[in-house]
């Protein structure tokens, strides 16, 4: 919270006033951030146009009311014009006013329609980088559909899991409080990108103000947006559709980099994935120490946002795992709830994790925080449970 306390220090009434004057307000944004994509620029422009029209109309309304308030008052001895509604204006205003308003409406709607046609639909027949954006409670998953590695003879898209980093874990070089993530979404500049949005559980919405396009992630739907990235930089956003407890902790970080850098990054991701897959495929008996170490890391990134680092959960929404009936009870029931989730709760099926990840997490849960069951779950146990689930 260091950044916040520093901010609080600067937050006297005086500095607030100074902020208004613009001296301390460098960071205090009043409007959309500078667009980082062509579509965002279009959206920025239509926003500025409608704001300008609205401001002019507001000034006109205020001027008429203000004039009337000043001149047409009894205390000035003004005598009410009882026949005002019978003048030609009074007789015809019911049609004059709607025509004027219609004119303004058509001006706005006409420009808006032009912008809409430019930004709404994904360009057809062009080379776009497809990124599938999957919302989870409460993290983001990005799949680069055009880039894959071969694992077990099947192509797997390169995927990135992006999670909120608590401030004590976030380094100096991050987007700051509530905005830091472990893995950003890396995209190449100058490229058209198509986002395919969907959700694994409840509604979420992908929103990065610099890219402007916002779209809901709906389970069972795939919705799409696209951007043509125009400048490099790191852009922060967050989930914009209320998705439950930690809705405020679903940051998005987009890192737009040069094409060459993107290629290098992508190559690195592929190597990491292959290495992880090779490790997971090793047919060996893992020791308790190895599984506990891997389990702690996996649990802390994937499970701790609900069940907490200390395993105490946040009852009643997120049950405690310390001494919990499932994590200290029979292993099959534990495997079942992790693999298949629990309907009607925030506990989703975690069957997309590898056998090794699941084995390490389950072993960790059964032995951490004084659970001390001594149970060791091996990746092959997970594999067996999966085949059971298929049957």
Partner 1 sequence: MSTATIDLEHHGEHEHHGPPKGLKRWLFSTNHKDIGTMYLIFAFTMLFAGGLSAMAIRVELFLPGLQLLEPDLYNNLVTNHALIMIFGAVMPAAAGLANWMIPLMIGAPDMALPRLNNLSFWILPAAATMLILSFIVPFFPGGGTQINTGWTIYPPLSVQVGMSMDFLIFALHMLGISSVLASINIIVTIFNMRVPNMTMMRMPIFVWTWLVTAFLLILVIPVLAGGITMLLFDRHFGTSFFNAAGGGDPVLFQHLFWFFGHPEVYILILPSMGVLASVVPTFSRKPLFGYSSLVGAMIAIMIIGMVVWAHHQYTIGMSLGAVSYFMIGTIIISIPVGLMVFNYIATMWRGAMTFETPMLFAIGILLMFSFGGLTGIMLAVVPADMQYHDSMFVVAHFHYVLMPGAVFGLFAGVFYWLPKWTGHMYDEKLAKLFFWINVISFNITFFPQHFIGLAGMPRRIVDYHAMFTEFNVISSIGGIVFGLSHLLLLYIVIKTVRGGKQAENKAWEGAKGLEWELPSPPPFHSWTTPPKLAAS
Closest contact distance (angstroms) between CB of 71 and partner 1 is: 9
Restricting to residues 182-211, which ones interact with partner 1 according to CB under 8 A? 197, 201-203, 205, 207, 209
Closest contact distance (angstroms) between CB of 82 and partner 1 is: 6
Q: Where are the beta strands (DSSP E) in 284-344?
A: none
85 binds partner 1 (CB under 8 A): yes
Closest contact distance (angstroms) between CB of 80 and partner 1 is: 4
Taking contact as CB under 8 A, which single stretch among the options 83-91, 264-272, 294-302, 382-390 is the one that binds partner 1?
83-91
Task: Out of 165, 213, 254, 303, name the contact with partner 1 by CB under 8 A.
Answer: 213
Task: At 281, list the tokens.
Answer: 């495929």
Taking contact as CB under 8 A, which single stretch among the options 214-222, 301-309, 352-360, 374-382 is the one that binds partner 1?
214-222
Contact characters 141-180, partner 1, x per CB under 8 A = -----------------------------------xxxx-
**Of 39, 234, 239, 220, whose CA–CA distance to 141 is shortest?**
239
Nearer to partner 1, 28 or 333 (CB): 28
Task: Out of 14, 22, 73, 126, name the contact with partner 1 by CB under 8 A.
Answer: 73
Q: What is the 3-state secondary structure (H, E, C) of 158-172?
A: EEEEECECCCCCCCC
- Binding residues with partner 1: total (CB under 8 A): 103
Nearer to partner 1, 138 or 364 (CB): 138
**Vertex 39 angle, CA 266 and 52, to 5°:** 145
Nearer to partner 1, 249 or 296 (CB): 249
Nearer to partner 1, 246 or 265 (CB): 246
Nearer to partner 1, 69 or 390 (CB): 69
Kindly list the distances between the CA atom of residue 54 and the CA atoms of 4, 169, 211, in Å, as whole numbers in the listed order: 36, 45, 24
136 binds partner 1 (CB under 8 A): no
Check residue 354 and report its DSSP letter. Answer: -
Nearer to partner 1, 95 or 390 (CB): 95
Task: Out of 14, 22, 97, 259, name the contact with partner 1 by CB under 8 A.
Answer: 97
How far apart are alpha carbons 189 and 258 in whole angstroms? Answer: 5
Taking contact as CB under 8 A, which single stretch among the options 73-81, 265-273, 277-285, 372-380 is the one that binds partner 1?
73-81
How far apart are alpha carbons 191 and 193 in whole angstroms? Answer: 6
Check residue 243 and report its DSSP letter. Answer: -
124 binds partner 1 (CB under 8 A): no
Convert 316-331 to b/e letters by CB count within 10 Å (16 or more is b).
eebbbbbebebbbeeb
**Would you call 39 exposed, middle or buried from its count of C-beta atoms within 10 A (0-12, 13-18, 19+)?**
buried
Check residue 227 and report its DSSP letter. Answer: E
| 301 Cβ contact list (under 8 Å, min separation 6) | 161, 163, 182
Contact characters 243-282, partner 1, x per CB under 8 A = xxxxxxx---------------------------------
Per the CB < 8 A criterion, the answer to whether 332 and 320 are in contact is no
Task: Out of 23, 51, 287, 352, name the contact with partner 1 by CB under 8 A.
Answer: 51
| 212 Cβ contact list (under 8 Å, min separation 6) | 32, 35, 37, 39, 40, 43, 44
Restricting to residues 292-321, which ones interact with partner 1 according to CB under 8 A? 314, 316-317
């Amino acid at each position: 919270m260091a950044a916040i306390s520093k901010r609080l220090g600067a937050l006297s009434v005086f500095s607030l006033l100074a902020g208004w004057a613009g001296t301390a307000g460098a960071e205090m944004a009043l409007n959309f951030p500078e667009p980082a994509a062509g579509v965002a620029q279009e959206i920025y422009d239509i926003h500025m146009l409608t704001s300008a029209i609205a401001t002019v109309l507001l000034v006109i309304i205020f001027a008429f009311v203000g004039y009337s308030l000043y001149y047409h008052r009894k205390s000035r001895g003004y005598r009410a014009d009882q026949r005002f509604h019978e003048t030609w204006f009074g007789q015809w205003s019911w049609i004059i006013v709607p025509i004027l308003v219609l004119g303004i409406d058509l001006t706005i709607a006409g420009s808006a329609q032009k912008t809409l046609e430019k930004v709404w639909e994904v360009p057809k027949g062009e080379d776009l980088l497809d990124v599938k954006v999957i919302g989870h409670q409460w993290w983001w998953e990005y799949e680069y559909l055009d880039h894959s590695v071969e694992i077990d003879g099947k192509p797997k898209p390169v995927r990135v899991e992006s999670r909120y980093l608590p401030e004590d874990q976030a380094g100096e070089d991050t987007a700051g409080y509530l905005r830091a993530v472990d893995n950003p979404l890396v995209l190449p500049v100058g490229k058209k990108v198509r986002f395919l949005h969907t959700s694994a559980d409840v509604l979420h919405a992908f929103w990065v103000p610099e890219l402007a396009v916002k779209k809901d992630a709906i389970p069972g739907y795939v919705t799409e947006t696209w951007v043509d990235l125009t400048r490099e930089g790191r852009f922060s956003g967050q989930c914009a559709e209320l998705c439950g407890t930690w809705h405020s902790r679903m940051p998005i970080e987009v890192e737009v980099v040069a094409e060459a850098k993107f290629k290098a990054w992508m190559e690195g991701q592929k190597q990491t994935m292959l290495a992880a897959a090779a490790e997971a495929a090793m047919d060996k008996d893992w020791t308790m120490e190895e599984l506990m170490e891997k389990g702690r890391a996996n649990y802390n990134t994937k499970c701790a946002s609900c069940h907490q680092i200390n395993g105490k959960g946040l009852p009643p929404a997120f049950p405690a795992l310390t001494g919990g009936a499932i994590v200290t009870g029979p292993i099959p029931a534990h495997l079942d709830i992790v693999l298949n989730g629990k309907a009607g709760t925030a506990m989703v099926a975690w069957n997309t994790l590898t056998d090794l990840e699941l084995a390490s997490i389950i072993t960790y849960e059964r032995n951490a925080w004084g659970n001390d069951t001594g149970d060791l779950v091996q990746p092959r146990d997970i594999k067996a449970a999966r085949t059971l689930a298929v049957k």
